[in-house]
Structure 1
Amino acid sequence: MTVFGMDIHSFYLTILLVSGCITVLYIFFGDVLDAVGEGIVFLNPALILSFITFFSASGYILEVITSLSSILIIVISVITAFILDTILHFFVLVPLSSAEESLSYTEESLKGRVGKIIIPIPDDGFGEIIIESKSGTISKPVASYENTPIEEGTQVLVIEVEKGVLHVVPYEDLDTEQS
């Protein structure tokens, strides 16, 4: 069978090489194309490229190792690519996208969090705080909100963030005081 003047083996191999090269380019420059797939899930460039790669790879392999008709091989390749693409989407891309969001934080999200002073804050000076989170420990520079010294080991509440410095006040947990 010939497609676009090429035999089917060469067609599958050409599509495989081109989609592989585009996939490598997408890895490096994919942030530009991510806006395209933002609202419409089935237009995700990673899924489209992987479908084309799976289709051409399975088609080439089936053409080389079997004696099935080319039309049947195309149908089998489309079904195989669809199944592999679905597996890739639900078991790799969806968990990765949700994990990426859960591990990040913004400085604004630190407002209202409780941390512990590890380097004491002098009058009108700076110290250091650690804040425990699900993704690990966050260490940031800190200053007293009221410009008063705060000792090492004191639990503090983050009031505001200004130019990367957390401004804090000593924190008293009401639940532990009532016990």
Structure 2
Amino acid sequence: MLEYYWICLIGGVLFAMVTIVFGDLLGDIFGGIFDSLSMDHLDFLQPMVLVGAITIFGGSGIMLSQYTLLDPFLTASVSLMIAIAVSILVYFSYVKPMKNSENSTGFSMKDLVGKIGEVIVPIPVGGYGEVVLKVGAGNTNQIAANLDRLEIPAGTRVVVGEIKDGVLFVFRYEDKEEM
């Protein structure tokens, strides 16, 4: 059984070292495979929590095997309880607070396609105006032109249809309830 504990410990340490050195590269290669596993209701499936549990299981199993007189089944059971307790501690003290703090004011222009905004500077026929859009926790003002080649007065709600050369091409937003 001691060999399994060593495999868990060494595997967890190697995973941590590879993640530290190649973390961003691996994240790009696997394209967020762990993100799809950890949906909102399964946040505890984060790699840090799972691999941490395996590593703690191995380390505590080695320590309990070497320095106590517990039988192998009891050693494995106590190691499992320690691993679960430490994983819960890691999840609530690190993973969950970090997930809640992931807010960014950065955005890509292509993220604006399909967003609803409001015209703040009228858009003349064949000309440019300005729209304000809600992005994340804030707003952004962007240069806009009309896709339909019609004048759009200030205060009109619009939808971003496409983006060309940093200019948002918009059209009027028609709310189904207003019709």
Regarding TM over 0.5, the answer is yes
User: How far, CA to CA, are the matches of 1:13 and 1:170 in structure 2?
Assistant: 58
* Change beyond 3 A, Cα 1:107–1:23: same
Q: How does 1:23-34 map to 2 (within 5 A)?
A: 23-24=19-20, 25-26=22-23, 28-31=25-28, 32=30, 34=32
Structure 2 equivalent of residue 20 of structure 1: 16
* Change beyond 3 A, Cα 1:139–1:37: closer
* Change beyond 3 A, Cα 1:170–1:80: closer
TM-score (norm 2): 0.55
TM-score (norm 1): 0.55
Contact 1:37 1:44 in 2 (8 A): no
Q: CA deviation at 1:137?
A: 1.0
User: How far, CA to CA, are the matches of 1:107 and 1:17 in structure 2?
Assistant: 42
Contact 2:9 2:57 in 1 (8 A): no
1:107-166: CA deviations, max 9, x gaps?
Answer: 3441xx342425x54441223322235621133331135535567xx2221144123514
Q: Which runs of 5+ in 2 are unaligned?
A: 175-179
* Change beyond 3 A, Cα 1:145–1:81: same
Point out the structure with max Rg over C-alpha: 1
Superposed CA RMSD: 4.7
Q: Is 1:117 paired with 2:120?
A: yes
Q: CA deviation at 1:168?
A: 4.1
Q: CA deviation at 1:54?
A: 3.0
Percent sequence identity is 17
* Change beyond 3 A, Cα 1:23–1:84: farther
